[in-house]
Structures are given as structure tokens and as C-alpha cells.
Amino acid sequence: MDPRVSQKPEKATEEDKKKRRHKQRTKRTITRAVTHIRLIEANPGKLAALDQMMAVYLPICQRYVILFCTAETPPDKYGDPVFESELSDRLHRVAMQQAAGIAKSWRTNRENAYQAYLEDVADYVQAKAKAEAEDRMSAFKRTEPTWNEWHVPVLRVPVIQANANVVVVEQSKDSTFDYWLRVSTLDKGTPLRVPVKLASYHKQVLKERTINTSTTLHKRNGVWWLTLSCDEDVPLQTEPSAPVVGVDVGIAHFITTSTNKEYGSFHGKMARQHKRDREKRRRKAKLRACLEKKGASADKLPSTSSASGQRLSRHVKQEINRAVNELITDHPDARLIYEDLNVASMRFKARSMNAYLYASNLAHIPEQLAWAAGQRGMAAHTVWAAYSSQECPRCHFVDRANRPNQKTFKCVVCGYEDHADHKAAVTLAGRWGDRELAACRDKREVKALLLKRHDVWKQQQQQRIERADPPVQLSFWDPPEAFWDPSQVLNSSRMRELHRVPVVHPADESAVG
């Protein structure tokens, strides 16, 4: 076997794991990407070999994407190749690895969205049954949630996420160029050699750092581009005793902290810009459909892709970066705890709005948070975020009904009330270091654990009542499950016994005091 075909790595030894844990405690590794390095064609037609390779590579990668997305079992990038191809074994393996990466994130996102859908259905069924039982179906207006199966990703841009087995970056010996790129092609044994010249800002980033062996090559508008990256270890600055700050990501405000601060918003100017952009696209699409009907040729039709949409997207990202920087400036010594949101779960958070656009932009917040904190050597951790918006911080009761609207959290059991985003941030902060919670394998286990804690809380309340301590305000108690047993509470002789306090006569006061 070709030793330069990627092999499944050996399992990490105890020693390796120990080293990794030590590093996690003391350093943060951040990866800087060096993008937009244009590949120069030293001789005309030289990059044709790259085009030829890509013409074979991309369809194979696409076939694996379909296979890995639709298979019963999770993608195995080290599995046996299943498609015939002109690619060398090394390139074939890289195509499989790239496809496995795409399929893995697609499967996770789809699964999360599907789970959210199932929860929606369960919620709907419950609400409907309740309406039926109470004979108010005529007022029941909710529509049953539906599931639209996701499309498997289509690779449109020619791109190869390469490793050193197929693309090697070599230091240039003369001063004309900075590096030489050696790229495997279809012609085995005849790699393509392409010179690389860096701009001064590229050089600045790479200065005195080692370039990672993984590289990306992609072609856009007829030009090939190279992306390099390098790792940097930043010593961890955060003290073990640093205050823990929870960070909730949302729509009304990009960021709400457990310290009750808010940063950035989609509302206002940006929302108006977004609305205009959507209307413009809709008009164009209408015109396009109309012209198509009349038989206009394809090249004369107006494009529906929107430059202003891209501009807006960039603007949102800039606003997010600004919000994250402000958060960090305000909490320089904190340990940040946040929710690692993916696009799918954000879509559900953004339910009522133009879900996808918001979602794809909001998912940038945790990324930016991790990056900005990492750069400063600040500790930032993600925790299980399941039910963080529904869990009551006082009694741990979990239910959608705890959220009467987008803005408000109000526990239907104990009556605890707070601004919803602030409450979520507090819950996230509280989840850091919660080993029992961290050990949960899925959302169902998270919910079961939280409801178990709720039962413990109920028992504690019962004991309090038995001791006749003033209980926490109990509102909307659910009768079937209630511990509330009037015979116990009102057992008058026991109550008197619990209430019995020594009677102190005025004359004895000095003796007691």
C-alpha cells in the first residue's frame, strides 16, 4: 500500500491524552487562515492539469457525499473505496475525507432539525389533546408541523481540501517566489509545480510560524486560489477563580449575558435593509418568471442572486464581531460559557423570521466568540444547551409553557420570572462544571436529568412545608403529580408541634437575651 495514502490514526495513548489535557488547561490553539492567495500561471496552460484533475475529483467527491449522507451508518473516511476512478489512491482518499467531513456536518444539522421537528410534533399533539379534552377545538388554531426532507449537498465550487499527501508547500530557494506548490495530478508521477507569491499581509500572518500541512485549493471566476493556515498557541490568561459569565445568542439581541448586558441587534436599520433586499429579489424573480413564459433566452433574464444580500450578510458579520468585542472589553477577566449553536438549531430559534438568513448569520456568533476569546487566551467553553431556554433555574421544571412569549420566561410551577434571554444566559453559566449534565449523551437524557432534579426540588418543598417553612410561591401546580397532600399539611397537631416555639414572658427576656 502507498504509505502516502492517509491511514486511520492510532488510538491516542494515555500519555497523549494527558498531554492534551495539560495543553487544554494552559493554552489555547487558534488557527489563522491565510486566504486569497492567487495561483500564478508561470507558463500559459500550466494550470490545465489542475482543471483536469478537478474534473475527475469533484464528481467522485460528490458521489461520496451522496453515499455518506444517505447511508445508515456514519461516514467512514478510512473505509474501503467503493467507486472506480482515474484518481490516484491518495487523491481518492482525500476525496473521501473531504466528502466525509461535508456529510458529517450535514447529518448532524439534519438530525438536530429533525429532533426539533419531533419535539414540535409532540408539543402540538399534547396541545391538541388538551384542547379536545377541554372542548375548545373551535378555538384551536395551530397547524400541525410538517417535515420537508433535506436535500443532499451539491458541490458547486471546484474545491479540494488537501493534505500533504497530495499538495505540498515547499519553501522557494530563490527570491522571485515565496513558495512552490507541488500538486498531485491525474498523470501519476508527474506532479504539477506552481509558484506562490505572497502579499505583504499574508507574510505578516505567516511570519515565524509553521504552515499547516492541510491546504485548500478552489477555483472561482476562472481563477485558482490557495488557502494556507498556521496554528498559534496562546497561553491561557484566565484565572481558575475567574467569574463565570453565561452568553446567550439570540435575535432581539445578538448577545445577552448572565451579567444582564446586551450587545448588537438585528433590528432597526439592518432589518429594514433586509426587508428591502427581499422585496427586490421577489420582484426580480417575478419578472424572470414572466419573461421565461414569453420565451426570452436564458442569458437575457435578470439574475435573482443578490449583491445587496451579500453586502447585508457581510454587514451582519461586522456587527456580530463588534458585539463580541464589546462583550470581551466589558468582561476582560471572565470565563465565557456559551451555546455552540449550529445553523439547524438556530433556524428553530429564528422560527418566525426569515429563518435561514438569520440562522446562517447567527451561527457566526459562537464561532466569533471562540476565535476572539482564543486570540486573547481567554477561557471560553461550550456546554449542553438543550432546554436552556425552557429550564427553570429555581425548580428545574422544563416545559415549553415556561415561555409564554419570545421575551418572557415564567415558570408554570414555581412562578420564577425573568427576561428570557437573561435567564438562558444564567442557565448556561450554571451548566459549566455540571458533570452529571455533561455526561448526558443526547437531549432526551438532558431532559430526564432536569426533570429528576425537579422531582428532588419538589421533595425539598414538601419537607419545607412539613417543617412549615414558608414555601416558595407555588402557582399553577399540576395536580396529578403534586406532592401537595392537604391531609399532611393540615394535620393540625403536627403543625402545632412544628410551630411550637418557647413562650417567653416579658419578665424572662433579660434572662434569654
Residues 6+ apart with CB under 8 A from 227: 33, 34, 35, 36, 37, 215, 216, 217, 218
DSSP-based three-state secondary structure for 179 = strand
By C-beta, is 200 or 473 nearer to Zn ion? 473
By C-beta, is 191 or 415 nearer to Zn ion? 415
Measured distance CA(253)–CA(322) in Å, rounded: 13
Give strand pairing partners of 463: none
- Closest distance between Zn ion and the C-beta of residue 443, in Å? 20
- Closest distance between Zn ion and the C-beta of residue 403, in Å? 13
By C-beta, is 37 or 395 nearer to Zn ion? 395
By C-beta, is 295 or 470 nearer to Zn ion? 470
Q: Does the CA dihedral 452-453-456-457 come out positive or negative?
A: negative
Tell whether residue 413 is a contact of Zn ion (CB under 5 A).
Answer: yes
Written as one string, the DSSP assignment of 266-290 is: STTHHHHHHHHHHHHHHHHHHHHHH
Tell whether residue 338 is a contact of Zn ion (CB under 5 A).
Answer: no
- Closest distance between Zn ion and the C-beta of residue 409, in Å? 10
Span interacting with Zn ion, options 42-50, 363-371, 413-421, 467-475, rule CB under 5 A = 413-421
By C-beta, is 170 or 417 nearer to Zn ion? 417
Written as one string, the DSSP assignment of 180-247 is: EEEE--SSTT--EEEEE---HHHHHHHTT-PBPS-EEEEEETTEEEEEEEEEEEEE----TTPPEEEE
- Closest distance between Zn ion and the C-beta of residue 412, in Å? 8
By C-beta, is 103 or 392 nearer to Zn ion? 392
By C-beta, is 64 or 416 nearer to Zn ion? 416
Measured distance CA(39)–CA(169) in Å, rounded: 13
- Closest distance between Zn ion and the C-beta of residue 433, in Å? 22
Q: And the C-alpha cell for 294?
A: 414569453
Choice from 58, 369, 411, 426 touching Zn ion (CB under 5 A):
411
- Closest distance between Zn ion and the C-beta of residue 451, in Å? 12
By C-beta, is 266 or 416 nearer to Zn ion? 416
- Closest distance between Zn ion and the C-beta of residue 79, in Å? 48
CB 328 within 8 A of CB 373: yes
DSSP 8-state assignment for residue 103: H
Q: Pick from 361, 381, 337: which is nearest to 251 by CA?
A: 361
- Please count the residues of this chain forming the interface with Zn ion, following the rule CB under 5 A: 8
Written as one string, the DSSP assignment of 316-384 is: HHHHHHHHHHHHHHH-TT-EEEEE---HHHHHHHTTTS-HHHHHHHHTHHHHHHHHHHHHTT--EEEE-
- Closest distance between Zn ion and the C-beta of residue 392, in Å? 3
By C-beta, is 241 or 405 nearer to Zn ion? 405
- Closest distance between Zn ion and the C-beta of residue 450, in Å? 11
- Show contacts with Zn ion in window 287-326 (CB under 5 A): none
- Closest distance between Zn ion and the C-beta of residue 427, in Å? 12
Residue type, 224: W
Neighbours of 385 (CB within 10 A): 21
Tell whether residue 416 is a contact of Zn ion (CB under 5 A).
Answer: yes
Span interacting with Zn ion, options 211-219, 227-235, 335-343, 404-412, rule CB under 5 A = 404-412
Span interacting with Zn ion, options 49-57, 151-159, 407-415, 499-507, rule CB under 5 A = 407-415
DSSP-based three-state secondary structure for 248 = strand
Give strand pairing partners of 408: 419
CA of 487: how far to CAs of 163, 333, 459, 470, in Å?
A: 73, 53, 16, 18
Choice from 336, 414, 424, 465 touching Zn ion (CB under 5 A):
414
Span interacting with Zn ion, options 18-26, 40-48, 346-354, 414-422, rule CB under 5 A = 414-422
Span interacting with Zn ion, options 77-85, 244-252, 268-276, 403-411, rule CB under 5 A = 403-411
By C-beta, is 47 or 412 nearer to Zn ion? 412
Element (H, E) at 34: strand 27-38
Per-residue binding letters, 373-402, with Zn ion (x by CB under 5 A): -------------------x-xx-x-----
DSSP-based three-state secondary structure for 255 = strand
- Closest distance between Zn ion and the C-beta of residue 415, in Å? 7
By C-beta, is 327 or 413 nearer to Zn ion? 413
Binding site for Zn ion (CB under 5 A): 392, 394-395, 397, 411, 413-414, 416
